[in-house]
Amino acid sequence: MSKPELWVIAERRLDHVEPTTQQLITKAKHLAGDHFKVITILLEATADHLENELTAYGPDEIRIVRDDRFPTATDAEHADALKQLVDDYQPNSILFGATITGRSIAPRLQAKLQTGLTADCLDLRFDDDTLVATKPSYGDNIMCEIICPDHRPQMASVRPNTFVATPAPGDAKITTATVTVHPVDRLNLTTARPVVNTATTVGDANRVVALGRGAASAATIDTATKLAEKLGGRIGVSRPLTDQDRFTHDDQIGQSGNTIHPELILNFGISGAVQYLVGMQDSQTIVAVNADAQAPIFDVADYGYVGDAQAFMSALLAQFN
Amino acid sequence: MKIVVCIKQVPETNDVTIDPVTHNLDRRGLAGVMNPFDKNAVEQALQLKDADKDAEVVLLSMGPDDYAESLREGMAMGADAGVLLSDRAFAGADTLATGYVIAQAIKQIGNVDLVLFGRQAVDADTGQVGPIVAEFLHQPQITYAASLRLSGTNEVTAERLLEDTKQTLVATLPAVVSVRSELNTPRYPTPRNIQLSFAKPLTVWHHDDLDLDDSRLGQAGSPTIVTKVYAPEPVKRELTPLTGTPTEAANQLITALKNRQLI
Amino acid sequence: MPSTTAAAEKLLLQMVDDYTAREIAPQDMPMDAAGDFPAGFVQQLTTTGFLGLMLPQEFGGAGFGPEVTATALNHIARGNASTAVTLEGHFKTIDQILKFGTPALQQQLLPSANDRIFAFSMTEASGGSNPMGISSTATREGDHWVITGDKIMITNGGLAQVYCVLVKTAPQELSVFVVDQDMPGFSFGKREDFIGLRGTPVGEIVMDHIIVDDDHLLGKLGDGGMIGDSAHDDARILMGAVLTGIMEHELKIATDYAKERKAGDKPLTKLQVTHRKVADIAMRKETTKLLYQRAAQLKAAGRPYSEEAAMAKAHGSRAAVSAGDDTLQILAGYGYSREYPVEHLIRDARAMEIAEGTVEKMRSAIANAEFNK
């Protein structure tokens, strides 16, 4: 029998905690109710104190395993350590961030535990003690609800930025646990260095000027770039525009990856395919400009203008100037 | 060196719909193609073969008989052989049950030095099977490799790109590696190689050709169940129309954004 | 050797579609603007193996049959008709060497067709429609032939390295020889500046006492007219395929646009005037497709296909120009703009009312075939 523990596996990102961890703690607290304890599992070096970045989010407990190998441990070594903890504590469910690290360690642990794992989830809920994980597939066109009825622990990885981290009261009791680290000598991490990544994704922007098929000309893109600058934001595009050389996956909204929720998004010439709408509908203020009054984008917008995207954009830019 | 590349066949497009009556996924009329990310893994294997003519590249897939098409395409790109794991007993498998059969097949192929995977399938988007197979084979794994080369007779070196860290990893073979799509541009099968690929061996293995524990197969061996499939429904909002000329409408928007303290 | 199977053809077309979408179609507008193609393009066609698509496997090619070869050009032309026509010129030439060349000549020349472009040249300044009016000659000197003359308006002229040339071997005797750009006496002349298919080089070759042996003669002395007709037949099937591709492109532009646009409050898709045009474009496309496929089937079956090939080209070329005109009208001002490819598709299609025999000649051929039934 598993115990009513809901685990969030903390991920280390260089010298800090990866933000998805805090997002998951907030979500886990909502899910837990009175039924579960939210336990954050933190594997860190003996001198580290990454728990200081977690206490404010109010997990019931932060369970720390300290070993100097962890900051450079391989996926298999991480999975091995987590397997020992699972054997010792028998949690009901385990949540990972669906980061590259999370998506590498979680399935390895899953195989050790011979249990179910649902990857890259966009929502989670409990039916009694069964975790119902909502996972997109077919490039976010389809949502699947997946359960793991007969195996414990239940496992899920959650897409970064799906939930918002909110500081909350909670015991945040700090405890320690021990495992035996079994070094795998057939795989060695020889170097690890931070990548100065200047390329931001559209998910990082707080204001987005989004362009679709109806706003794809060079002149329109030029105007949109100026408008984005004025707003202190960034351009994003719907799928058809990723065919243009100047746009990449990092600029794309809504398909397999960039789920965004900026405080303001202006949609130009975007009719609103389902996966696009789902990818941006949590934005705080949504504005849509489209020549077609029937375009689905208007269903999810706060403000809408039926007309030519370029003309409206130019008028708006003129107001700012 | 023997390299196995695991590939999956996926629908040609992701524009799938839900049947309004049965609530099942309507995949009618969708042609199957090799998962685009898997082509990067095939290309990586072929580049290793280009550098070492004695290397043998075997493609491995699990699915119904028509998955042979993807195997054939990979063989037309230059792989030496294909193995298709096809049996009713394998149907309905989730990632765990799939990983089990793939791992057993890799053992059956024997003397495999390197197993390659694409980063994930474009339909299910899980990326789980690679690490699961690595675990079942008790081999080291390098996921999301951004480069991969042979760095010794029995060793590969890979660069692995995390969100903001670049790692260099050295693995002693045998090992399992999944590759990023940025790693290479897959070659096209030439018309001639398409023709010649039909002379290469494509083997179909059924249940009895493998050493399998039946309780770990198909639906019975799958811990997860899909309980509901649906098209996401965007949440509707109350729309305030902006009206008049573009300039008038832009003015209305500016006022609204000011009221919302966005400008 | 494995046979050409449906599975192989499916994979081939998948590869052709993929490659066309990613590499060839994006070159279409730049090629038209430049009147040329980018450096390395021939190398690309070589690496991809397109040059050997229909070349038998014994010569290092892929050995695909006439039907799927035509379909492949149809698919390429959806994205770039010029590239498809360059391949058409190459394939029709290979076809004549396969039909009329000696085994020794085939062994000597054809393996290089995987990485060198071939061309077939008939026209001279005196006119294209009257073969007996040409002035290029091959004269016997000792145990070899000496070829002299100018050939113009050659598809792939200046790009190709191997040329089949129609010459007179006697005042009333036409014959075809194969010459190579590396032979002494061979040079390139003027390049045409055509208004359409601008990514297909068309140019002149000058032959000044080129010496070849008997083995470079295709067929027998006096077979020239017949070989020329045969080259036309093979070319016309492929042109029907290219024209089908152009019309598929036009149809896509017309329907995409109609689905997005409105006239007043009404979507273009609800207007009868749009229906008429779109239906006409679709019918022209489909009839041309059936015609070229029928001709290709007959060719694959070893039956006569000259009349059907002429129909495919005669019908298809006018059909594609008309379909382009209708597409332009649906797009109105945008259709008339160089920013959209419609005007360039019309110019491309228009070339095929002239090349490989004018529509007028084609109609005579079809009518005569009917009289003889």
**Rounded Cα gap, residues B107 and B98, in angstroms:** 14
- Mean local confidence (pLDDT), C181-206: 96
What per-residue confidence (pLDDT) applies to A274? Answer: 79
Note whether residue B13 is domain-resident. yes
Token readout for B103 is: 């791992």
The CATH number of the domain holding residue C146 is 2.40.110.10
Number of domains in chain A: 2
What per-residue confidence (pLDDT) applies to C279? Answer: 98
The CATH number of the domain holding residue A209 is 3.40.50.1220
- The answer to whether residues C191 and C232 belong to one domain is no
Note whether residue C1 is domain-resident. no
- The answer to whether residues C143 and C162 belong to one domain is yes
Note whether residue B253 is domain-resident. no
pLDDT tier for residue A154 given thresholds of 50, 70 and 90: very high
What per-residue confidence (pLDDT) applies to B74? Answer: 97
What per-residue confidence (pLDDT) applies to A196? Answer: 64
A141 contact residues in B (CB cutoff 8 A) = 14-16, 231
| Nearest CA-CA distance, residue C140 and chain B, Å | 40
Domain boundary among A176, A210, A243: A176
What per-residue confidence (pLDDT) applies to B155? Answer: 94
Q: Give tens-digit pLDDT for A64-100.
A: 999 999 988 999 999 999 999 999 999 999 999 999 9
- The answer to whether residues C52 and C93 belong to one domain is yes
Q: Give tens-digit pLDDT for A164-207.
A: 899 998 888 999 999 999 988 899 888 888 876 555 677 778 89
- The answer to whether residues C106 and C127 belong to one domain is no
The CATH number of the domain holding residue C314 is 1.20.140.10
Task: Kindly identify which residue of chain A lies nearest to residue C21, measuring between CA atoms.
Answer: A243
- The answer to whether residues A281 and A167 belong to one domain is no
What per-residue confidence (pLDDT) applies to B98? Answer: 97
Main-chain dihedrals φ then ψ at residue A263, nearest 5 degrees: -75, -20
Q: Find the domain containing A218 and state its range.
A: 202-320
Q: What percent of chain C has pLDDT over 70?
A: 98
- The answer to whether residues A167 and A222 belong to one domain is no
What per-residue confidence (pLDDT) applies to A161? Answer: 80
C8 contact residues in B (CB cutoff 8 A) = 194-195, 197-198
What per-residue confidence (pLDDT) applies to A304? Answer: 94
Domain boundary among A176, A193, A211: A176
Q: Is C207 exposed, middle or buried (0-12, 13-18, 19+ CB in 10 A)?
A: buried
Note whether residue B251 is domain-resident. no
Note whether residue A222 is domain-resident. yes
Q: Find the domain containing B188 and state its range.
A: 2-216
CA-to-CA separations, A6 to A43, A52, A58, A154, in angstroms, rounded: 17, 20, 13, 9
**Rounded Cα gap, residues C106 and C88, in angstroms:** 19
Task: Kindly identify which residue of chain B lies nearest to residue A289, measuring between CA atoms.
Answer: B242
Cβ–Cβ contact C59 with B under 8 A: no
B93 contact residues in A (CB cutoff 8 A) = none
Residue of C5, C49, C63 with shortest CB distance to B190: C49
B245 contact residues in A (CB cutoff 8 A) = 315
- The answer to whether residues C247 and C196 belong to one domain is no
What per-residue confidence (pLDDT) applies to B19? Answer: 72
- The answer to whether residues C109 and C123 belong to one domain is no
CA-to-CA separations, C8 to A299, B12, B73, C72, in angstroms, rounded: 47, 18, 9, 13
- The answer to whether residues A110 and A237 belong to one domain is no
Domain boundary among C69, C90, C114: C114
Residue C4 has pLDDT above 60, yes or no: no
Would you say C65 and C297 are in contact if contact means Cβ atoms under 8 Å apart? no
CB–CB contact B132 A111 (8 Å): yes
- Mean local confidence (pLDDT), A32-47: 94
Task: Locate the DSSP E strands across C113-172.
Answer: 118-121, 137-141, 144-155, 162-170
Note whether residue A196 is domain-resident. no
- The answer to whether residues C171 and C286 belong to one domain is no
Provide the whole-model pTM.
0.85
Note whether residue B116 is domain-resident. yes
**Rounded Cα gap, residues B223 and C261, in angstroms:** 50
- HSE toward the beta carbon, residue B12, CA cutoff 13 A: 9
Residue A257 has pLDDT above 70, yes or no: no
What per-residue confidence (pLDDT) applies to A197? Answer: 53
- The answer to whether residues C348 and C302 belong to one domain is yes
Note whether residue B231 is domain-resident. no
Residues 6 or more apart in contact with residue C171 via CB below 8 angstroms = none
Q: Give tens-digit pLDDT for C46-73.
A: 999 999 999 999 999 999 999 999 999 9
Judged by average pLDDT, the poorest of A149-163, A195-209, C90-104 is A195-209
- The answer to whether residues A34 and A162 belong to one domain is yes
Q: Give tens-digit pLDDT for C302-320.
A: 999 999 999 999 999 999 9
What are C's interface residues with A at a Cβ cutoff of 8 A? 260, 262
Note whether residue C295 is domain-resident. yes
Task: Kindly identify which residue of chain B lies nearest to residue A14, measuring between CA atoms.
Answer: B165
- The answer to whether residues C103 and C138 belong to one domain is no
Residue A255 has pLDDT above 90, yes or no: no
Note whether residue A134 is domain-resident. yes
Note whether residue C237 is domain-resident. yes
Note whether residue C100 is domain-resident. yes
What per-residue confidence (pLDDT) applies to C2? Answer: 38
Which strand (E) or helix (H) includes residue B191? helix B191-196
pLDDT tier for residue A144 given thresholds of 50, 70 and 90: very high
Q: What residues 180-219 of chain A have any CB closer than 8 A to a CB of chain C?
A: 213-214
Q: Which parts of chain B sit beneath pLDDT 70? A: 20-30
- Mean local confidence (pLDDT), A121-144: 90
Residue A18 has pLDDT above 50, yes or no: yes
The CATH number of the domain holding residue C73 is 1.10.540.10
Judged by average pLDDT, the poorest of A156-170, B141-155, C78-92, C256-270 is C256-270
Number of domains in chain C: 3
Active site residues of C: 356
CB atoms closer than 10 angstroms to residue B32? 17
The CATH number of the domain holding residue A66 is 3.40.50.620
CB–CB contact C18 B196 (8 Å): no
Q: Find the domain containing C81 and state its range.
A: 6-114
Tokens 């669906």, residue located: A98
C63 contact residues in B (CB cutoff 8 A) = 192, 195
- The answer to whether residues C235 and C339 belong to one domain is yes
Residue C127 has pLDDT above 70, yes or no: no
- The answer to whether residues C331 and C367 belong to one domain is yes
What per-residue confidence (pLDDT) applies to C132? Answer: 86
Note whether residue B74 is domain-resident. yes
Residue C38 has pLDDT above 90, yes or no: no
Q: Give tens-digit pLDDT for C153-193.
A: 999 999 999 999 999 999 999 999 999 999 999 999 999 99
Would you say C183 and C212 are in contact if contact means Cβ atoms under 8 Å apart? yes
Secondary structure of chain A in HEC code, one letter for each residue: CCEEEEEEECCEECCEECHHHHHHHHHHHHHHCCCCEEEEEEEECCCCCHHHHCHHHCCCEEEEEECCCHHHCCHHHHHHHHHHHHHHHCEEEEEEECCHHHHHHHHHHHHHHCCCEEEEECEEEEECCEEEEEEEECCCCEEEEEECCCCCCEEEEECCCCCCCCCCCCCCEEEECCCCCCCCCCEEEEEEEECCCCCCCHHHCCEEEEECHHHCCHHHHHHHHHHHHHHCCEEEECHHHHHCCCCCHHHECCCCCCCCCCCEEEEECCCCCHHHHHHHCCCCEEEEEECCCCCHHHHCCCEEEECCHHHHHHHHHHHHC
Residue A13 has pLDDT above 50, yes or no: yes
Would you say A116 and A154 are in contact if contact means Cβ atoms under 8 Å apart? yes
Note whether residue B112 is domain-resident. yes
Residue A160 has pLDDT above 90, yes or no: no
CB–CB contact B166 A195 (8 Å): yes
| Nearest CA-CA distance, residue C269 and chain A, Å | 13
Number of domains in chain B: 1
Q: Give tens-digit pLDDT for A293-312.
A: 888 999 999 999 998 888 89
Note whether residue A189 is domain-resident. no
Cβ–Cβ contact A306 with C under 8 A: no
- The answer to whether residues C241 and C353 belong to one domain is yes
Residue of B33, B69, B199 with shortest CB distance to C2: B199
Note whether residue B25 is domain-resident. yes
Residue of B162, B235, B238 with shortest CB distance to A101: B162
- The answer to whether residues A105 and A254 belong to one domain is no
Note whether residue C171 is domain-resident. yes
The CATH number of the domain holding residue B153 is 3.40.50.620
